[in-house]
Amino acid sequence: MPSSVRVLAMVFMAGATGVHALAPAAPALRLPGALPGAATALARGTRPHIRRLQTAGTAVSSSAIRLGRSSRARTWLGAVGGEAEAEATRDADELKTGVQLRTPDIDKLCLWVTDEITLWLDQDWIEREVHGKMGEQSASTVRRMVDSGDVGISSILFAVAEDLGATNFPRLFESDVNEYDVANKVSDLLLQSMNVDVCCTSAPITGLPDYGAAAASVPAKVASGFLAPETSVEKYLFLQKALDGRISVQDLNSAVLLTLGEDVLTGMGVTDGSSLNFFAGDFKAIEDLDEALQNKLEETNKRDSDLDPVLEALHGEELLKVERDAGEPEFLRRETCVKWLHVAGGY
């Protein structure tokens, strides 16, 4: 068959099936703020012990053990005269990162995805037992991706398609759709769950997820009037300003409070997170947050030192070293909060 005919045939097939994504391999996406070179940190050093800040006015930095630190020069995006370049870099990073999934309750989101996919297939075709299995598998993939920390909508789309492919899901032939039909529907649903307008798709059959009390525990605004950043670029800028002191400790404290789930609060021994102040005179709250951070890192087989490339990109490698060596308690508190927001807060 001539190459031109093959191309036309592929275009026709893609249009006829409504497939948005045909390539089976997922692109290399990163979490908000995860910049080039972060992956190289996996083989560096050993995770330091949980930092314990001292009430005597000094602090022990979590970077006390830093083996094999990269000597590669990095640009401090906040440097004088570099604002235009910084803005261009952040815009490019936003394009690569794409939309990130945010949910206050992954359990309820997954139940909702299961129901939506099942009902969508049953109503578009005929009721089949395999439709429920496809809904369950889709939700299971969403949960797996969230647990792994790869929450880009595009990454989840490709992962769902891979898990529903004939190799991993032999019962696919019992349905009237292919894996990419379902994967695209899942990505539409995840966007809709965050109140993002999606073109050329139907509204969720059961409405939006009912998060109930979980939604109230992760509001976009707290009593202080702080509004959490929404886009990846806004979050990146927030982390950058938080490290260099341009974000007030009150706003940084509020940003962290919005990301604390019930399990974390229980681990800290509190029921009402609004009472926590990570910049208070005593160090218990910030120590508890640091311990929760280390637990999160261990869940994904990462070390505290794996976050160094991100912090260096935000603050500058040399400046970060100077600040850590100085050991100012406020900077170390800011550093811990920024790490938490990046690892557990979707920043």
pLDDT beneath 50: ranges in the chain: 1-83, 87, 90-91, 94, 214-220, 222-223
Same domain, 225 and 208: no
Q: What is the 3-state secondary structure (H, E, C) of the chain?
A: CCHHHHHHHHHHHHHHHCCCCCCCCCCCCCCCCCCCCHHHHHHCCCCCCCCCCCCCCCCCCCCCCCCCCCCCCCCCCCCCCCHHHHHHHHHHHHHHHCCECCCCCHHHHHHHHHHHHHHHHHHHCCCCHHHHHHHHHHHHHHHHHHHHCCCEHHHHHHHHHHHHCCCCCHHHHHCCCCHHHHHHHHHHHHHHHCCCCCCCCCCCCCCCCCCCHHHHHCCCECCCCCECCCCHHHHHHHHHHHHHCCCCHHHHHHHHHCCCCHHHHHHCCCCCHHHCCCCCCCCHHHHHHHHHHHHHHHHCCCCHHHHHHHHHHHHCHHHHHHHHHHCCHHHHHHHHHHHHHHHHCCC
pTM exceeding 0.85: no
Provide the pLDDT for residue 85.
Answer: 58
Same domain, 255 and 271: yes
Provide the pLDDT for residue 102.
Answer: 87
Same domain, 172 and 241: no
Structural domain of 131: 106-212
Provide the pLDDT for residue 131.
Answer: 97
Provide the pLDDT for residue 3.
Answer: 41
Show which of 187, 212, 237 is a domain's final residue: 212
Provide the pLDDT for residue 6.
Answer: 40
Provide the pLDDT for residue 15.
Answer: 40
Same domain, 237 and 293: yes
Provide the pLDDT for residue 96.
Answer: 54
Same domain, 342 and 239: yes
Share of the chain above pLDDT 70, in %: 68
- Is 97 among the domain residues? no
Provide the pLDDT for residue 81.
Answer: 43
